[in-house]
Amino acid sequence: MSESASFEDLLNEFDQTHPQAQKGEPTVGDKVSGTLIAIGEEFAFVDLGAKSEGRLDLAAIRDAEGQLKYAVGDTVETHVTGKDEESGMLLLGSQHGHKYHGLDELERAYRQGLPVQGQVTGAVKGGCEVRVAGIRAFCPASQIDIRFIEDLSEFVGRKLDFRITKFEGGRRPNLVVSRRALLEEEQRIKAEELRAQLKEGAVLTGTVTSLKDYGAFVDLGGLEGMIHISQLAFGHVKHPKEVLQPGRQVEVSVLRIEPATDGKKREKIALSIRALSRDPWLDAIEQFPAGTRIQGRVARLQPFGAFIELAPGVDGLVHISELGAGRRVQHPSEVLKEGDEVTATVLGVDLERRRISLSLDESREVDPTAAVVVAVTKPPAAKPAEKTMGSFGALLQESLNKGR
């Protein structure tokens, strides 16, 4: 074996045993996993399988009582929060900001991209005033949150995490900070984790972010999906605000995922609340047997009859011929209006077509055994079609047979 071949074999062996070395060094915000190789007085050191090791504050691996939760050789999961410029070592820890003291430490946090903790002290023109390590900083209104905030005073007094985006030292330091940068980074990490489990039929919990006439938008944790108004409930919903409000947590089912059309747009995620509820039509035969008198509310009128809501998601139809109790009716509006409470007789239930026939004629007599009730059944599996040739193929086959 040649020296070059031997060296190539060694490289391949190294790549197989150190897969992370092929991926390159992790960057700020990346979630990483590694092995604890040493624990000092202030820091622990982690082998990430990359070109450099990571340094982790001991506070990140202590429990509430201050005891270490890990030992040398254990595997830990954490995030990359920055990089030490002098040693080139990756800095590890949580995505939460730390308290810093003095301008020098803030400059180090700025250069390494580390999050810092600050307190919002006031809402000023164009943004918020923030105190970081006793030094005044400015956070533009567009950088205080991912969403638009109309009243910035709601943040006054709160301690939040920021990233320093502009640093000018001197006698009067000039600091500009952004909370949005950290939120977007956190959102990106959550989105990547969510995509790994995102599939049609998955049941997830999210938070309603906004309501539109056509549906509701839900934050699933880094990704946003939409519930169309038709998927909010089995019953009639005129506007999403009838059943939801922003900030409410909801359980949803993923109906479909439409991939992004280009690099800038995100995938479209269609969600449903209705899919997680029991279909009310499954109980329709037992709940509304033919021949019984039931109460309902007029949901809408059509030239051919009136739809009566019998239960959320279940409507019955009174045909125009069943509205007048013997007299001729030209239009349902002559007898009814939307919202009227009525008592009707069930003429029949058709589950296959999801229809319930009703009558307002009190004297109408119905034989339950004669009423047509079609149960929902699974159609028999179709027999596989026999492979047949077209007309030319048939003639060719016939000619070949004759020639034998």
Q: What are the backbone dihedrals phi and psi of residue 111, each rounded to the nearest 5 degrees, phi first?
A: -70, -30
Instruction: Spell out the residues 6+ positions from residue 365 whose beta carbon is closer than 8 angstroms to its own.
Output: none
Highest mean pLDDT among 57-66, 95-104, 355-364: 355-364
User: What local confidence, expressed as pLDDT, does residue 179 receive?
Assistant: 94
End-to-end Cα, the chain, rounded Å: 63
User: What local confidence, expressed as pLDDT, does residue 216 receive?
Assistant: 92
Surface-to-core class of residue 119, CB atoms within 10 Å of its CB (0-12 exposed, 13-18 middle, 19+ buried): middle
Q: Which residues pair with 256 in a beta bridge?
A: 270
What are 210-248's pLDDT values in tens digits? 999 999 999 888 788 999 998 998 877 889 998 899 989
User: Tokens 């709601």 sit at which residue?
Assistant: 154
Q: Judge whether residue 392 has pLDDT over 60.
A: no
Task: Compute the average pLDDT of residues 202-211.
Answer: 90
User: What local confidence, expressed as pLDDT, does residue 60 receive?
Assistant: 75
User: What local confidence, expressed as pLDDT, does residue 379 receive?
Assistant: 39
Are 115 and 102 in contact by the 8 Å Cβ rule? The answer is no
Are 351 and 373 in contact by the 8 Å Cβ rule? The answer is yes
The overall pTM is greater than 0.75: no
Give the CA distances from residue 249 to residues 24, 225, 236, 242, 273, in Å, rounded to whole numbers and listed in that order.
Answer: 39, 13, 21, 15, 12
Give the CA distances from residue 124 to residues 103, 136, 157, 162, 305, in Å, rounded to whole numbers and listed in that order.
Answer: 23, 13, 14, 18, 62
Highest mean pLDDT among 88-97, 153-162, 384-393: 153-162
Q: Judge whether residue 192 has pLDDT over 50.
A: yes
User: What local confidence, expressed as pLDDT, does residue 85 receive?
Assistant: 65
Mean pLDDT, the chain, rounded, equals 78
DSSP for 240-270 reads: GGGT--TT-EEEEEEEEEEPPSSSSSPPEEE
Q: Judge whether residue 94 has pLDDT over 50.
A: yes
Tokens of 325: 């109790």
User: What local confidence, expressed as pLDDT, does residue 211 receive?
Assistant: 92
Ramachandran area for residue 66 (φ above 0: left; ψ -120 to 50: alpha; else beta): left
Q: Judge whether residue 173 has pLDDT over 60.
A: yes
Are 150 and 112 in contact by the 8 Å Cβ rule? The answer is no
| Separation of alpha carbons 21 and 19, rounded Å | 5
Instruction: Spell out the residues 6+ positions from residue 344 whose beta carbon is closer than 8 angstroms to its own.
Output: 293, 294, 295, 296, 308, 316, 318, 358, 359, 360
Going by pLDDT thresholds of 50, 70 and 90, the confidence category of residue 12 is low
Residues 272/276/279/282 CA torsion (nearest 10 deg): 150
Tokens of 19: 């897969």
User: What local confidence, expressed as pLDDT, does residue 384 receive?
Assistant: 40
| Separation of alpha carbons 307 and 304, rounded Å | 10
% the chain with pLDDT above 90: 19
Are 298 and 308 in contact by the 8 Å Cβ rule? The answer is yes
Are 204 and 212 in contact by the 8 Å Cβ rule? The answer is no
Task: Compute the average pLDDT of residues 83-109.
Answer: 70
User: What local confidence, expressed as pLDDT, does residue 50 receive?
Assistant: 59
Are 79 and 34 in contact by the 8 Å Cβ rule? The answer is no
Task: Compute the average pLDDT of residues 145-173.
Answer: 89
User: What local confidence, expressed as pLDDT, does residue 67 receive?
Assistant: 81
Q: How far is CA 350 from the centre of its chain?
A: 36
Q: Judge whether residue 324 has pLDDT over 80.
A: no
User: What local confidence, expressed as pLDDT, does residue 166 receive?
Assistant: 92
User: What local confidence, expressed as pLDDT, does residue 382 receive?
Assistant: 39
Tokens of 381: 């599996």
Q: Judge whether residue 205 has pLDDT over 80.
A: yes
Number of neighbours of residue 212 by Cβ within 10 angstroms? 11
User: What local confidence, expressed as pLDDT, does residue 145 receive?
Assistant: 93
Q: In this predicted structure, which of 18-22, 106-110, 205-209, 298-302 has the lowest mean pLDDT? A: 18-22
User: What local confidence, expressed as pLDDT, does residue 28 receive?
Assistant: 66
Are 380 and 358 in contact by the 8 Å Cβ rule? The answer is no
User: What local confidence, expressed as pLDDT, does residue 2 receive?
Assistant: 47
Q: How far is CA 343 from the centre of its chain?
A: 43
% the chain with pLDDT above 70: 78
User: What local confidence, expressed as pLDDT, does residue 15 receive?
Assistant: 47
Q: Judge whether residue 330 has pLDDT over 50.
A: yes
**Which one has a higher pLDDT value, 335 or 96?**
335
User: What local confidence, expressed as pLDDT, does residue 100 receive?
Assistant: 57
Are 115 and 98 in contact by the 8 Å Cβ rule? The answer is yes
**Which one has a higher pLDDT value, 45 or 365?**
45
